[in-house]
Amino acid sequence: MLISTRGRYALRVMVDLAQCRSEDYVPLKLISQRQGISEKYLESIIKLLVKARFLSGLRGKGGGYKLTRPPEQYTVYQILSLTEDSLAPVACLSPDAAACPRSSRCPTLPVWQGLDRVIRDYLSGVTVADLMDGGACSV
Amino acid sequence: MLISTRGRYALRVMVDLAQCRSEDYVPLKLISQRQGISEKYLESIIKLLVKARFLSGLRGKGGGYKLTRPPEQYTVYQILSLTEDSLAPVACLSPDAAACPRSSRCPTLPVWQGLDRVIRDYLSGVTVADLMDGGACSV
DNA sequence: CAATCAACCTACCGGTATGATAGGAAAATA
DNA sequence: TATTTTCCTATCATACCGGTAGGTTGATTG
């Protein structure tokens, strides 16, 4: 599985906040209810988005989360990169992988490089704005 | 990680046998040495290839494994499908996944479907023959 | 027939990441 | 000061991955 639930949830949060775009901050509790994801688990995911400055959080009454940029400025690739340790389809292409001693004469390496390219190109070509169809803010 | 070592090893075995194409059967021991993969682990992977009739195995002296078809008739996608439980990039597209109750109004579903398509198309377009560069049977 | 070779089958095992849960501390507002 | 809500630190069960071990069946050769 290339994308874990963390990544899926993160993307859903971003689209959720984009669709219900308001100047106000949206509390975790509300996002959790709308998306049907446990508050506590969602919290750990949103933390990543805040750390990367994709969202800004505000504490206290009237607090919550909101996007820091317009939706078309977030690519799906950027979001998933935060939640997944690596988006590489195979271990040998993972950034934190030890260099493979066979790489210079590995006949299968080109397939993985090509696959990696195809995945990155595709995910980089889709933005959060592309996913907010109706624009309706559903409960 | 979309592709596990099982899948990578399976593909390497196929390319190995294709490059060292001979009418004779090639014993596991030799493949294991050439590829630098433990005999026992490799055995569990080759078992899958035999079961799917991608390889035929012959016991006893002079036995081993060999391809059942010419290399251009194996796509990378077919091979990886054997070793990976699912090549779907997300759980909700996995064949053995329970139907997601949100699918009808999930704004992120199209991304995953598109990604799945892109991956399948790419892997279906590459065959074992495409990976046997020199054709040299090394080591 | 006996010895050997090599595929085949079944079971086990440790590590690690995933998918959570729990409890509280800090900060902002009323 | 009381309430809201983010933020921070642990903990935990489960499952899968990568790998190991030992024995059984079947084919060939001397």
pLDDT tens, position by position, A40-91: 999 999 999 999 999 999 999 999 999 999 999 999 999 999 999 899 999 9
- pLDDT band at B23, cuts 50/70/90? confident
Region A27-51 average pLDDT: 97
Task: Tell me the CA–C1' distance in angstroms for B27 and C14.
Answer: 30
Average the pLDDT over B83-109 and give the result.
91
Rounded mean pLDDT of chain A?
93
Question: How large a percentage of chain A has pLDDT more than 90?
Answer: 83
- What pLDDT does residue A137 have? 60
> Tell me, what's the pLDDT at A139?
46
| β pairing state of A55-58 and B55-58 | unpaired
Angle formed at CA B106 by CA B123 and CA B119, multiple of 5 degrees: 5
State the pLDDT at residue B96: 80
DSSP B64: E
Q: What are the backbone angles phi and psi of residue A62, rounded to the nearest 5°?
A: 80, 5
Return the higher-pLDDT residue of B99 and A42. Answer: A42
Contact B132 A36 (CB under 8 A): no
- Say whether residue A91 is in contact with chain B using an 8 A CB cutoff: yes
- Our measurement of CA B70 to C1' C12, in angstroms, reads 38
Interface test with chain A among B112, B115, B120, by most A beta carbons within 10 Å: B115
Nucleotides of C under 7 A from a protein CB: 4-11, 17-23, 26-30
Chain B residue numbers with beta carbons less than 8 Å from the beta carbon of A138 are 105
**In angstroms, rounded to a whole number, what is the distance separating the alpha carbons of residues A24 and A8?**
24
* C-beta separation of A112 from B7 below 8 A: no
Are the Cβ atoms of B111 and A19 closer than 8 angstroms? Answer: no
What CA–CA distance (Å, rounded) separates B68 from B39? Answer: 22
Residues of chain B contacting A122 with CB distance shorter than 8 Å: 114-115, 118
Mutation site for B-interface testing, chosen from A111, A116, A122 by largest number of B Cβ within 10 Å? A111
Alpha-carbon span B27 to B64, nearest angstrom: 4
Q: What share of chain B in percent tops pLDDT 70?
A: 96
Question: pLDDT higher for A44 or B100?
Answer: A44
Q: How far apart are CA A72 and CA B10, in angstroms?
A: 41
Look over chain B and give the mean of its residue pLDDT values, rounded to a whole number: 93
Q: Which of the residue ranges A21-30, A45-54, B26-35, B82-91 would you say has the lowest mean pLDDT?
A: A21-30
Q: In order of start, what are the domains of chain B with their CATH numbers?
A: 5-131 (1.10.10.10)
Listed as own residue / partner, the contacts of A50-56 with beta carbons closer than 8 Å and 24 or more positions apart are A52/A82, A54/A14, A54/A78, A54/A79, A54/A82, A55/A17
Which has more confidence, A96 or A17?
A: A17
Q: How far apart are CA A134 and CA B4, in angstroms?
A: 38
How far is CA A65 from each of CA A62, A92, B127, rounded to the nearest angstrom? 10, 37, 48
| Distance from C-alpha of A45 to C-alpha of A88, rounded to nearest angstrom | 20
Mean pLDDT is highest, among A19-28, A90-99, A102-111, for A102-111
Q: Which of B15-29 are b and which e, b meaning 16 or more Cβ less than 10 Å from the residue's Cβ?
A: bbbbbbeeeebbebe
pLDDT at B138: 54
* pLDDT at residue A134 in the model: 61
Q: Scan residues 3-62 of B and list those with Cβ closer than 8 Å to A.
A: 3, 5, 8, 11-12, 15, 19, 36
- The DSSP bridge partners found for residue A63 are none
Cβ–Cβ below 8 Å for A107 and B15 = yes
CA distance B25 to B123: 28
The separation between CA B11 and the C-alpha centre of its own chain, rounded to angstroms, equals 5
Nucleic acid strand C within 7 Å of A29 CB? no
